[in-house]
Amino acid sequence: MDSRDIWIRVSDDKGRTIKDVNPHQIDFYKLNFPHIMVREYTSDILEIVDKSGANLKGLRLWDLYLGYLNFHSSGKITTPAASSGYIELQSFNGGAYVTNLKLVGGVVEIYNGKLTSNLDANGYRINNVEVLTSRAGAYSVAIVGRRLSSNPGIGIQLITYNSSDIWKDRLIITSGVDTADIKIVNALLDFNDQSLEASAGSLQGYFKVKVGGVEYKVPAYALS
């Protein structure tokens, strides 16, 4: 009898046929199907390729348990072709699995994130921030204007909306100079919780302020 006339039936635990396999489809090195084959790539790696063996092919499944994920070359992880289709990356927090990263609708959503090194915004904005807080303990928050001396000018701007919902500068600090200008614009300096002294002490000196680009000296008195 020709071995091609012999078939091996693979069934599940309920006796339902999963696949009829002809022995000639199997050899020591690969499993053949009509259009693809599974074969040994290295001593510890299998690959799925077309019949020519030149092109990698896909594997469709439900669950995949991995110890390590590595791409053969530059590759992609893609969501289903729908704006609501998504992929979630989850971790176990000790009580349940929680989502940490979600690819959906053309954006990356980050949940329960924590930086362990510097974040480079690469010259782009960080929008829709609600609160910025400093690190707890003996730490300060530094806002650094990095405009260099080769191109001095505005280094830091504090901006709010006006009554027409248009951006307006309120505080400007120059950078790239030894003595920076701190400009209050479109605003009044309000010492709201202070009161004027009824009498002055002895004159101690003056400090400089600018109004309309002109420098003025303001006297400073010691408290009486």
pLDDT tens for 137-188 read 999 999 999 999 999 999 999 999 999 999 999 999 999 999 999 999 999 8
Same domain, 1 and 52: yes
Asked if the structure places residue 172 within a domain, the reply is no
Q: Which domain holds residue 11?
A: 1-75
Q: Is residue 70 part of a domain?
A: yes
Q: What CA–CA distance (Å, rounded) separates 102 from 110?
A: 7
**Whether residue 60 sits in one domain with residue 26:** yes
**Domain count of the fold of the chain:** 2
pLDDT of 3 above 90: no
- pLDDT per residue over 12-26, tens digit each? 667 776 667 666 655
Torsion of CA 124, 182, 143, 125, to 10 degrees: -10
Instruction: Judge whether 60 lies within some domain.
Output: yes
Question: Quick check: is 52 in a domain?
Answer: yes
Torsion-angle region of residue 73: left (phi > 0), alpha (psi -120 to 50) or beta? Answer: beta
Cα distance between residue 38 and residue 31, in whole Å: 5
Per-residue pLDDT at 203 exceeds 60: yes
Q: Are residues 43 and 103 in the same domain?
A: no
Give the separation between CA 82 and CA 107, rounded to whole angstroms. 13
Same domain, 19 and 64: yes
pLDDT in tens, 88-110: 999 999 999 999 999 999 999 99
Q: How far is CA 14 from the centre of its chain?
A: 48
Q: Per the structure block, which two tokens stand in for 52?
A: 């020519």
Domain annotation covers residue 57: yes
**Are 81 and 40 in a shared domain?**
no
- What phi, psi does 72 have (nearest 5°)? -60, -40
